[in-house]
Amino acid sequence: MDDSFNMSMRKFLKQVGVTSQQAIEDGLRAKGAKAGQTYEARVHLTVDGLDVDHVVTGTIKGDE
């Protein structure tokens, strides 16, 4: 893959990471999340025009 592709990929993934973190933090604040509470998270990634259907799951734990 060329440099242009790599840069656009990194830019997209950075945007996903930053905006996702903001959305999660907003959700935790709105819920009044308690220390030690855990939340199951799932991200579903699709790419138009490509045969990409990728799911990432994990656990997010509130501050202790």
- Give domain limits for the chain: 3-61
Token pair for 10:
């990194």
pTM: 0.81
Token pair for 30:
């709105």
pLDDT of 61 reads 85
pLDDT of 64 reads 56
Going residue by residue through the chain (64 aa), what tens digit of pLDDT does each one get?
789 999 999 999 999 999 999 999 999 889 888 778 999 999 999 999 999 999 999 999 876 5
pLDDT of 31 reads 86
pLDDT of 44 reads 97
Q: What sections of the chain are H helices per DSSP?
A: 3-31
